[in-house]
Structure 1
Amino acid sequence: MEFHEIEAKILQYKEEGKRLFTTSSFQSHSLVLLHILSRIDRSIPVYFINTGYHFADTVQFARQICHEFGLPFVDIKSSTPKIMQKDADGRLLFVSDPDYCCYLNKTQPLDTILRSHDVWINGIRADQSATRSAMKLEQPAPHGSFRFHPMLDWDKRKIFAYLREYKLPRNPLDAKGYASIGCEPCTRRLDPDMQEREARWYGLNKTECGLHTDLVAK
């Protein structure tokens, strides 16, 4: 979608009385959607799913970007304290059961937000993974809400052209060799022969945290 198409769709949602929100991982490529939204409607809240395991650089950068773009920043966390996120051997779940860790710290908190909103503006792109390439522009989500994917047909070239055109800042972890940034224990630097998302949950049969698999209406 081009800017004018995204703008028209968001204005349509607003006229229909829909309650909108977005989420962001605050990776450099994620800033394009946030910047576009800041040009259209600065009342749309940005929910940051604060797992408690993010890089300190990401947490600081997230607040900085929302301040610079004039967007409301909302920090959400799991209702399950970390002391209860351990297996029978006392290991934290990101070590022994990363799927359940993601569920408690990402999927479950956002599921609560979907209950009070109508439209989740989501920045996934079809070129990121097979799971995401199967998504549609608008897709039903739990609790009668739906997902809107305005960046679905964008690719890396278009993303970075936008970043350059508007001179948007970069996540400081870019300069440290991180291309796909998530929680610190489950993210590694990208090797030259690796695909972007292979840097997440390296060595495991896992490429998604659950936000784009569980939070889709079946």
Structure 2
Amino acid sequence: MGPNANTQSIVAPERAFHHGADLEALNDRFKGALPSEIMRYTLERAENPVVFTNFRPLAVAFLHLVTRIKPDIPVVWVDHGYNTPETYRHIDRVIKELDLNLVTYAPKMSAAHYDAVYNGIPAFDTPEHDFFSRTVKLEPFNRAMQELKPDVWLNGIRHDQNTHRGNLDVFTQGSHGTVRVAPMFHLRKVDVEKYVHENGLPDNDIYFDPTKGEEHRECGIFLQKK
């Protein structure tokens, strides 16, 4: 009998999350599922998941949900330098209360530097504002993706936030070869407000995103394809 006669080949399991995954089937499977069910399924199968947050109003609900299941998950924050003082104080409080494993990325040009050279935040829907968004948000976001190399990008977007997001779903293809997972996608704003209240979570509504301004706009992160 040869030395390999009783040896069985071992086949590594297929990755659950990749750009070839059947996301349509996953969306059908989890239609109507609780956010916690979606979160747990994802975290049990993801190889290198990360969370991206901007600490906007009600974002604490998503951070609370994910860290209850995986307390040490990297929470990536792009600090563009233009947050309100109230938002920065809120961020410090949430980091402490939820014991976040925070990973901060900042633009290569500080807000003070940008303002001095380019005279502050440019008008929306101009080439100058596109350059501003790339400088303060998209470049550090892409750098985070390239360095952390996640397979799953967890986020707290909902279908009712704007038209573009309403056309997405729980599981979608993200940039940098990731799968974006939005466990709270089918919730309404009132549902998230209730979650924050019932769990006694701190929140802050004195918030400003210089790359989008109004709630219905996109800053560009969710528009990237690669």
Q: TM-score range by the shorter chain?
A: 0.7 to 0.9
1:126-178 residue CA offsets vs partner (Å, 9 max, x unmatched): 1010000111222222222221111111101211111121111121xx3xxx4
What does residue 40 of structure 1 align with? 69
Q: Distance in 1 between matches of 2:113 and 2:55?
A: 28
RMSD: 2.5
The answer on whether the counterparts of 2:212 and 2:219 sit within 8 Å (CA) in structure 1 is no
What does residue 208 of structure 2 align with? 182
The answer on whether the counterparts of 2:81 and 2:110 sit within 8 Å (CA) in structure 1 is no
Query: Residue 117 and residue 5 in structure 1: after superposition, are their counterparts in 2 closer, same or farther (change >3 A)?
Result: closer
What does residue 158 of structure 1 align with? 191
What does residue 52 of structure 1 align with? 81
The answer on whether the counterparts of 1:94 and 1:186 sit within 8 Å (CA) in structure 2 is no
TM-score relative to the length of structure 2: 0.74
Of all paired residues, the percent bearing the same amino acid is 23
After superposition, where does 1:42-81 map in structure 2 within 5 Å?
42-81=71-110
What does residue 91 of structure 1 align with? 119
Query: Residue 35 and residue 82 in structure 1: after superposition, are their counterparts in 2 closer, same or farther (change >3 A)?
Result: closer
How many residues are matched?
188
What does residue 19 of structure 2 align with? none
1:8-43 residue CA offsets vs partner (Å, 9 max, x unmatched): 221221xxxx11111222123111110001210011
TM-score relative to the length of structure 1: 0.76
Query: Residue 90 and residue 163 in structure 1: after superposition, are their counterparts in 2 closer, same or farther (change >3 A)?
Result: closer
What does residue 211 of structure 1 align with? 221
Give the SS at the match of 1:46. strand
Query: Residue 135 and residue 184 in structure 1: after superposition, are their counterparts in 2 closer, same or farther (change >3 A)?
Result: closer
Q: Paired residue for 2:215, among 197, 202, 216?
A: 197
Q: Distance in 1 between matches of 2:86 and 2:219?
A: 21
Mapped pair 1:109 → 2:167 = no
